[in-house]
Structure 1
């Protein structure tokens, strides 16, 4: 079963790139930032889009959830 694709992007003819997360716009890139993003997105698209939008997990969510201070 393939991994879910949460992020998607659309490159427009005017040089604008719109990154969406679950179908909703997450960010819009223009100019040199859009060009850098398009160069970088070929490596691992989901990870790159998550990093550019700031919407990615840092790997400590389970540890933080189980910490006594965060239990209710």
Structure 2
């Protein structure tokens, strides 16, 4: 699966975090969610973490899931 790219984040006053993808806003996190995100982005690959938090991570394995015996008709 290709590694996600193009994500960045900005931490604003008041604990708000804005995640962008190729310069366009993808999501905004506030409060406890922002704190959890910041802790996770420091510990793991930032691009993968941001892709997961924005919901843009299900790429490349759809065909594999479709062909799984459990999902066939």
TM-score (norm 1): 0.74
Report the equivalent of 2:13: 13
Moved over 6 A (4+): none
Structure 1 position 38 matched with structure 2 position 44: no
1:19-58 mapped onto 2 (5 Å cutoff): 19-42=19-42, 43-58=44-59
Unmatched runs of 5 consecutive residues or more in structure 1: 65-72
Report the equivalent of 1:70: none
Report the equivalent of 2:60: 59
1:58 to partner: Cα distance: 3.9
Unmatched runs of 5 consecutive residues or more in structure 2: 66-73
Report the equivalent of 1:67: none
1:14 to partner: Cα distance: 1.1
- Larger relative CO (CA 8 A, sep 6+): 1 or 2? 2
In the comparison of the two structures, how many residue pairs are matched? 62
More helix by proportion, 1 or 2?
2
